[in-house]
Amino acid sequence: MFKWFKKKDKKKDEIFDKEELIEEKDEAETQEVEDDEIDENINVESTVNELEEGKEEVEDKAPKKISLFEKLMGGLTKTRKDISSKIDNILKSYKKVDEELFDDLEEVLVTADVGVNTTMTLIDNLRERVKEEKVSEPKEVKELLKDEIKKLMTEENMDYKLNIEPSPAIILVVGVNGVGKTTTIGKLAYRLKREGKKVLIAAGDTFRAAAIEQLEEWGNRAGVDVISHSEGADPAAVIFDGIQAAKARKVDVLICDTAGRLHNKSNLMNELNKIFRITEREFNEATKEVLLVLDATTGQNAMNQAKVFNEVANITGIALTKLDGTAKGGVIIALQSELKIPVKLVGVGEGIEDLQPFIVEDFVKAIID
Amino acid sequence: MVFESLSEKLQNALSKLRGKGKLSEKDVDMAMREVRLALLEADVNFKVVKDFVKNVKERAIGSEVMESLTPGQQVIKIVNEELTKLMGEKEAKINFSPSPPTVILMCGLQGAGKTTTSGKLAFNLKKQNKRPLLVACDIYRPAAIKQLEVVGEKVDVPVFTMGNKVNPVDIAKAALEHGKKHGNDVIIIDTAGRLHIDEELMEEIENIHSAVNPQEVLLVLDAMTGQDAVNVAEAFNERLGITGVILTKLDGDARGGAALSLRAVTQKPIKFVGMGEKLDQLEPFHPDRMASRILGMGDVLSLIEKAQANIDAKKALELEKKIRTQQFTFDDFLDQLEQMKSLGPLDQILGMLPGINSKALKGLDVSEKDIIKIQAIIQSMTKKERENPDIIDSSRRKRIARGSGTTVQDVNKLLKQFKETKKMMKKFTDMEKTLKKRGKFGFPFF
Ligand SMILES: Nc1nc2c(ncn2[C@@H]2O[C@H](COP(=O)(O)OP(=O)(O)OP(=O)(O)O)[C@@H](O)[C@H]2O)c(=O)[nH]1
Ligand SMILES: [Mg+2]
């Protein structure tokens, strides 16, 4: 019952987010279509009206508050239910802890994109623990596995908070194409602003078609200014201007978007390195966060991405997006353990509030429980 | 990383003995372990790997190990062949509707690359003298419409939009009408990225589908996709009946196991691959390249190729000598047949041979069945007969026909063919000699 409510709530929230999409300037485009085509369809008109009403509501009130925790649970429920029943079923079907049980657990981990190597390490450790602690109940194995994952992922004094204190701070957002950089920036700007920070965005993706317009729309939604040049401009120059504006306006956090780039393209990575160096040189006094955005749907390639981006731009944190799907993002385990780069944010939807802090506990639970 | 040392492990783990008869279960098991790891590292779905390994194992056990290959290499060779087969045909074409316009519906997850790919496809079709129309049905993502408009402008293809306040189903319908009126023969519908578990949006795209009845439903999938690819492909295929796949971002360094996963669950062809951000970077899909990329054993594969080339060269050299001295016997003939059979489809092999030009092949019609027949006939000959066919008189011919379950005519035909082949071979070698051969000499066959 409770779950049903939450699910509905989430739906409503998604619609809510879409309502925000309405913008005046689109009317011009609509008019291009012959009038009779639209008039014919009453449905369309009424939808438009409804949506417009929705829009007023949005503007009047502050957005509905849904607790972050609720949202996270909502977003991860699907993921959780899926894998949980799987593990529980496996555990139920075993009377004793044997090799076959380990094989099945291996399958669960690999299917969650944990990767073969990491899975083998985890299972080996688990096997040892089981032997040492003389565990004979299959049910207890689950807790041990969770523990092993946590142990592998967490480092002492790993900081999961964004590096944005003290002000001023600059957040450089990087990643391969389509992972969710721009969307994450929109969500993040919104959140930081709500926390009372003065935020500014720089539109460093001058390459992709309409990337600037996309970011500007997010700026509108979040109520944050966007510094931009035109398409095709030098991205380093945009970042430079962003930094100057951030200084002049005394903003707390400057968030810089960059074009999506595949990590194996050296010319594009050189360009990124140039941008990175400009932030170092021109905004030396700023607290720095270089955020790599990874798509949870991505498999083992995420590891390569992280390694190369880290070489070029000193990654300090990871944002893991699209966890609202069925992908588990298990590659994060190896990534965090090998590269010691903490995941700081997770994206759980396309709405402006669908951004959450990363909590190891919850992530591991989402994979195992 | 697992696969960096993979080939090395393969060489070490497996017997170094070359060409030792048939593959044993142990050989296969050991090699298959490495194959399994390689495929999983490449993000092929766990279940798909399991099935694949099981099937190939069955095929591999008991098969002949090529001379100069280790059993491990032989298994990899088989795996690669099977993988290539599974990747499907090279099928880089759009099926056009007999009554235009042809409607192409693009679908996929968020960030897969649908909009860019729509533009690339429009560009590709334009080059084929089509008059495509791009349709902006992504009313959700900020500036998605603008993005398509910019892309359309770059490739000089009109873009149909109705802003983001109109239901995508109605946009699609209106676009179809618009296209008909304006003489567009292909309508490419770009849709919003959606999660395969988003009931509302999946229903929306189903409605678009039934409203415009597309000829092609193309799933756009990121080549970097992990284990989840099966769920995505399955869901979109179930709901929409996809007709093909476009694999994007293959210019990255992902091994692309998702390609195998989605082939396994949908059986639909991969029609194109995205090879860059520019709008002309849409390429036909090459099953063989994809297979070896996923397998990630490039070095082993090239080793196998080399080995194959070596053995060919060695044998060819021997043969050449024999031919020159007119010592080519039926035993050699049989040997060649065996070799060819282990290499794959005959006409393909023949076509690849350097010494044989394709024109000469045209009139040649050899089927696997013919080969089996030929083998049977030769095997019914005595050693003496094979070495010296001239002694085969009519009573011997009768005996051979009876022994091989063929007719005397068949035996006659083969004898005649053999004689001619020998003659032809002599000519070939002489010719090559005068042409100062490049040190390469393939099968001088038939
Ligand atoms: N379901 C879901 N979709 C997301 C999430 N984050 C981003 N997206 C969607 O993913 C798509 C790509 O997001 P963008 O923000 O444009 O990604 P990007 O990395 O800026 O893309 P490029 O600039 O083109 O490289 C959009 O459709 C987003 O709405 C998420 O957490 N969940
Ligand atoms: Mg972007």
pLDDT band at B342 (very low <50, low <70, confident <90, very high): low
B440 within 8 A of B356, measured Cβ to Cβ: no
Dihedral pair phi/psi, residue B256, rounded to 5°: 80, 30
A279-293, A333-347, B250-264, B296-310, range with the lowest pLDDT: B296-310
Q: What is the mean pLDDT of residues B27-35?
A: 88
B42 within 8 A of B2, measured Cβ to Cβ: no
Predicted local confidence at residue A199, as pLDDT = 98
Q: What is the mean pLDDT of residues B9-34?
A: 70
Q: Give distance in angstroms: CA of A182 to centre of ligand 2.
A: 4
A124-145 burial code (b ≥16 CB/10 A, e <16): ebbbebbeeeebeebeebbebb
B47-51, B111-115, B269-273, B353-357, range with the lowest pLDDT: B353-357
- Which residue positions in chain A have pLDDT lower than 50? 1-81, 83
What the block records as the tokens of B78 is 């088989």
pLDDT band at B443 (very low <50, low <70, confident <90, very high): very low
The 3-state secondary structure of chain B reads CHHHCHHHHHHHHCCCCCCCCECCHHHHHHHHHHHHHHHHHCCCCHHHHHHHHHHHHHHHCCCECCCCCCHHHHHHHHHHHHHHHHCCCCCCCCCCCCCCCEEEEEECCCCCCHHHHHHHHHHHHHHCCCCEEEEEECCCCCCHHHHHHHHHHHHCCCEECECECCCHHHHHHHHHHHHHHCCCCEEEEEECCCCCCCHHHHHHHHHHHHHHCCCEEEEEEECCECCCHHHHHHHHHHHHCCCEEEEECCCCCCCCCHHHHHHHHHCCCEEEEECCCCCCCEEECCHHHHHHHHHCCHHHHHHHHHHHHHHHHHHHHHHHHHHHCCCCCHHHHHHHHHHHHHHCCHHHHHHHCCCCCHHHHHCCCCCHHHHHHHHHHHHCCCHHHHHCHHHCCHHHHHHHHHHHCCCHHHHHHHHHHHHHHHHHHHHHHHHHHHCCCCCCCCCCCC
Predicted local confidence at residue B17, as pLDDT = 53
Predicted local confidence at residue B156, as pLDDT = 97
pLDDT (tens digit, 9 = 90+) per residue, B198-233? Answer: 999 999 999 999 999 999 999 999 999 999 999 999
Q: Mean pLDDT of all residues in chain B? A: 84
Give residue B220's identity as a one-letter amino acid code: V
Asked whether the beta carbons of residue B43 and residue A21 sit closer than 8 angstroms, the reply is: no
Burial of residue A92 (CB within 10 Å: 0-12, 13-18, 19+) is exposed
B9 within 8 A of B34, measured Cβ to Cβ: yes
Q: What is the mean pLDDT of residues B184-189?
A: 98
Asked whether the beta carbons of residue A210 and residue B149 sit closer than 8 angstroms, the reply is: yes
Distance CA A139, CA B14 (A): 39
Q: Please indicate whether residue A324, judged by its CB atom, sits closer than 6 Å to ligand 1.
A: yes
DSSP secondary structure string for all residues of A262-326: -TT-HHHHHHHHHHHHHHHHHTTTSEEEEEEEEETTB-THHHHHHHHHHHHH---EEEEE-TTSS
pLDDT band at B446 (very low <50, low <70, confident <90, very high): very low
CB pairs under 8 A between A and B: 179
In chain A, the residue whose alpha carbon lies closest to the alpha carbon of B119 is A209
Distance CA B2, CA B178 (A): 54
Residue B321 has pLDDT above 80, yes or no: no
Query: In this structure, which residue's CA is closest to atom 13 in ligand 1?
Result: A180
Q: Please indicate whether residue A14, judged by its CB atom, sits closer than 6 Å to ligand 1.
A: no
Predicted local confidence at residue B302, as pLDDT = 74
Q: How many CA atoms lie within 13 A of B14 on its CB side?
A: 30
pLDDT (tens digit, 9 = 90+) per residue, A256-307? Answer: 999 999 999 999 999 999 999 999 999 999 999 999 999 999 999 999 999 9
pLDDT (tens digit, 9 = 90+) per residue, B384-437? Answer: 898 888 899 999 999 999 999 999 998 998 888 788 777 766 665 565 555 444
Residue B332 has pLDDT above 70, yes or no: yes
> Is the ipTM beyond the 0.85 threshold?
no
Distance CA B262, CA B248 (A): 13
Distance CA B416, CA A244 (A): 89
Query: First and final CA of chain B: distance in angstroms?
Result: 48
Coil vs helix vs strand at A121: helix
Between B247 and B384, the more confident residue is B247
Residue in A29, A211, A322 closest to B161 by CB: A29
Predicted local confidence at residue A51, as pLDDT = 38
Q: Give distance in angstroms: CA of A347 to centre of ligand 1.
A: 9
pLDDT band at B331 (very low <50, low <70, confident <90, very high): confident
Q: Please indicate whether residue B198, judged by its CB atom, sits closer than 6 Å to ligand 1.
A: no
Contacts of B224 in chain A (CB under 8 A): 176, 295, 298-299, 301-302
The model's pTM is 0.75
Q: Give distance in angstroms: CA of A293 to centre of ligand 1.
A: 10
Predicted local confidence at residue A366, as pLDDT = 82
Residue B267 has pLDDT above 80, yes or no: yes
Predicted local confidence at residue B4, as pLDDT = 40
The share of chain B scoring above pLDDT 70, in percent, equals 79
Predicted local confidence at residue A301, as pLDDT = 97
Contacts of A78 in chain B (CB under 8 A): 197
Predicted local confidence at residue B335, as pLDDT = 73
Q: Which atom of ligand 1 is nearest to the CA of A348?
A: 31
Between A164 and B334, the more confident residue is A164
Of A355, A338, A337, give the one whose Cα is nearest residue A346.
Answer: A355
Asked whether the beta carbons of residue B225 and residue A297 sit closer than 8 angstroms, the reply is: yes
A150-185 burial code (b ≥16 CB/10 A, e <16): bebbbeeeeeeebbbeeebbbbbbbbbbbbbbbbbb
pLDDT (tens digit, 9 = 90+) per residue, B120-168? Answer: 999 999 999 999 999 999 999 999 999 999 999 999 999 999 999 999 9
